[in-house]
Amino acid sequence: MIFLNGEWMPVEDAKISVLDRGFIFGDGVYEYVPVIDGKPYRLDGHLIRLDNSCKEIGLKNPYSNARWAELVLEAARRNGPGDQGVYWQITRGVAKRDHSFPKDIEPTVFMMSNPLPKLTAEQVDNGVPCYTFPDKRWHRCHIKSISLLGNVLAKQHATEHGGAEVVMIRDGFMTEASASNVFCVFGDTIVSPPKDNHILGGITLDGVFDLAKKNGLKLEVRPVPEAEMWAADELWLSSSSKGVLAITTLDDKPIGNAAHKGKPGPMFKKMFALMQADMRGA
């Protein structure tokens, strides 16, 4: 069952105008939150980011945080049982095709829920291969926009090479992946690029920050030059659907020091255990 403009219905009954600005221009924003054991993970952070994205594009957020929370839980309930990944988007609405914002139209609100993807034991134990890719996207990546062609092209590059993700490079610095944030580890220090206009501020990224601080793990937020990235002892991905996941090869080259080259490292194993407990509310 999906939610569309105030009504729940089977997905096959859903209809959206071809003049919707989400269809014509990609004019809208979205969110995705995991609902684990019936509880949305870090929902407050997702709702703050949603509101910020709406403000960035001059779109009125149609619902209160309380209403969004009700809808997220209802979507998960209607499409359960089991853990769910709830996706929703808001577009500017339906109007004659014109680049300028139309006046006095209602936004289109769509929400769906699907079983939350599960990491396999193989992925957790051995990590995943990734590939570098030039970050040629626009300069407002902090907006969670439905206009994702740049990310789609990056992910397709990984898929065509047999990889799980890309690590994007902009002007000689590591930014993020197509649908994930990226961390480096140097010794016992976790390093993340700063959350600027070239990176989407991930809610799971914030979770890593919080867990590191609570558990006495060293954390640095700073730009990471590409050359330094290649020398990292560990590389990780983080996202709402993955939690954290180790990158063990990059462009077919093994990542890590001699003790765990091409395998998940000890800092990943610590954070993975902490993240799993946090997501389960343990």
Closest to 141 (Cα-Cα) out of 180, 90, 104, 186: 180
Q: d(Cα 97, Cα 67) in Å, to the nearest integer?
A: 31
Give one DSSP letter per residue of 2-57, joined into a string.
Answer: EEETTEEE-GGG----TTBHHHHH--EEEEEEEEETTEETTHHHHHHHHHHHHHHT
Residue 144 catalytic?
yes
Residue 96 CA to its chain's centroid (Å): 32
Token pair in block for residue 104: 């006095």
Q: d(Cα 18, Cα 140) in Å, to the nearest integer?
A: 26
Could you give the angle at the alpha carbon of 91 between the alpha carbons of 158 and 21, nearest 5°? Answer: 90
Token pair in block for residue 38: 């019936």
Q: Which residues contact 230 (CB under 8 A, 6 or more apart)?
A: 250, 253
State the catalytic residue, choosing from 15, 60, 96, 144: 144
Using the CB atoms, write b or e for 105-129: b if 16+ within 10 Å.
eebbbbbbbeebeebeeebbeebbb
- Measured over the CA atoms of residue 212, residue 218, residue 219 and residue 224, the dihedral's sign is negative
- How far CA 234 is from CA of 102, 170, 176, in Å, comes to 48, 20, 15
Active-site amino acid positions: 144
